[in-house]
Amino acid sequence: MRTTLLVLLILYSIISIPNISLQASELEFDGDSAFSYLEAQCDFGTRPPGSENLTQCRGYIVDILRSFGWDVILQNFTYRDVDCANIVAHDSVSQNVSIILGAHYDTRPLADHDPNPENRDESVMGANDGASGTAVLMELARILPTQIRNKIELVFFDAEDSGSINGWQWIVGSNYYVDQMSPEIIANITMMILVDMVGDTNLRLQRELYSTRDLQNEVWSIAAHLGYDAIFQDSNGGYIIDDHHPFLNVGIPSLDIIHHDPFPATWHTIHDIPDRCNPDSLESVGRVLEYFITNTTGWTGEYEPNFVFPIELTLIGIFSVVAIITIAVYIRRK
């Protein structure tokens, strides 16, 4: 009798092990769609903080997010007499935000790393440095399942990329954003994921070293599972000052997904244009995030290729078997 019970318990525990296996073909993030958002931002011209181009681009981003059903607010602030604004998007039905996805949408006012000194007074188009991360977030806004949107906040930071120009600091928008968070809100956030410079044709993502290692391990293992290990390289890069910093400083696990060590050749040059970017690069990062976010929030939706035996049924099954055996033993003894 004991042996039978043991066998039954083992059988139940085997079939109740969650076994979700998503394939890249089941993900919806579309690189071409994301690339169209990258190009559309660049169509406004270079977009440094306070510029008319950035104001128009901001309006475009807000309109697109609203068309996908998100509630959008502008978090306005002034820095060194320049009007700036972070764009914050929430689910329009309910909010129980635990995951923040971020990108900066401003571009660098000066191409101060251009190999040609004559170009260094020009501003940067920021197809990769600015538009690429923003485009990934916009495409996620389009395809993320409505069932999980209430857990997500999308934040597009202003004033990230003017550091060391005219006395400006780096990451001004994200610092302002975190300054405005209450302790209660901070306590509810389980993670922040930043995407920055993820559009280069030869995208190479090494591990950024300020990032929370456990979170990074999760995302990197998903990238390998989906076949993107040539892009998400399993090697340490460097320490990057980026918009994940203020979140780390208040204790929120944070990850920066960024092309660095070295930065792409177009970084802070006039050559940071859409021609040097690629839909496939955006798609690899977008799909890894889609997969990760969808699983992390506990919603599996259509993505259930393998049978998952619900834990409740498993417990009911075990209790029933025990009850039947107990009754059987009781009747026998009688």
Determine the interface stretch with Zn ion among 39-47, 128-136, 220-228, 245-253 (rule: CB under 5 A). Answer: 128-136
129 binds Zn ion (CB under 5 A): yes
Which range binds Zn ion by CB under 5 A, 66-74, 84-92, 160-168, 205-213? 160-168
Which of 91, 139, 153, 161 is the binder for Zn ion (CB under 5 A)?
161
CB of 108 to Zn ion, least distance (A): 5
- In this complex, which beta carbon is closest to Zn ion, that of residue 145 or of residue 163? 163
Query: Rounded to the nearest 5°, which phi and psi values hold at 260?
Result: -160, 170
**Applying CB under 5 A, what is the total number of residues that bind Zn ion?**
2
Show the site string, 96-115: x = touches Zn ion by CB under 5 A, - = not.
Answer: --------------------
**Which of 65, 70, 60, 85 is closest to 159 using CA atoms?**
85
Q: Is 48 helix (H, G, I), strand (E, B) or coil?
A: coil
CB of 58 to Zn ion, least distance (A): 18
Q: How far is the CB of 305 from Zn ion (least distance, A)?
A: 40
The stretch near Zn ion (CB under 5 A) out of 16-24, 72-80, 122-130, 187-195 is: 122-130
State yes or no: residue 243 binds Zn ion (CB under 5 A).
Answer: no
Query: How far is the C-alpha of 294 from the C-alpha of 301, rounded, in Å?
Result: 9
Q: How far is the CB of 308 from Zn ion (least distance, A)?
A: 43
Q: Least distance in Å: CB of 263 to Zn ion?
A: 8
For Zn ion, which is the closer residue by CB, 253 or 274?
274
- Alpha-carbon Rg for the chain, nearest whole angstrom, is 24
**8 A C-beta contact, residue 89 and residue 153:** yes
Query: Is the distance from CB of 257 to CB of 194 less than 8 angstroms?
Result: yes
Longest dimension (CA), the chain: 100
Pick the stretch among 60-68, 98-106, 159-167, 321-329 that binds Zn ion (CB under 5 A).
Answer: 159-167
Phi-psi sector, 79: left (phi>0), alpha (psi -120 to 50), beta: beta
Contacts of 326 (CB under 8 A, 6+ apart): none
- Which residues are within 8 A (CB) of 195 and not within 5 positions of it... i.e. 6 or more apart? 101, 102, 103, 132, 133, 136, 137, 257, 258, 285, 289
Name the segment binding Zn ion (CB under 5 A); options: 158-166, 207-215, 232-240, 255-263: 158-166
In the complex, minimum distance from the CB of residue 129 to Zn ion, in angstroms, rounded to a whole number: 4
Residue 242 or 290: the one with the smaller Cβ distance to Zn ion is: 242
Residue closer to Zn ion (CB basis): 267 or 292: 267
**CB of 262 vs Zn ion, minimal distance in Å:** 14
Q: Which residues contact 331 (CB under 8 A, 6 or more apart)?
A: none
> Of 99 and 198, which CB lies nearer to Zn ion in the complex structure?
198
Shortest distance, position 128 Cβ to Zn ion, whole Å: 9
| Binding positions for Zn ion, rule: CB under 5 A | 129, 161
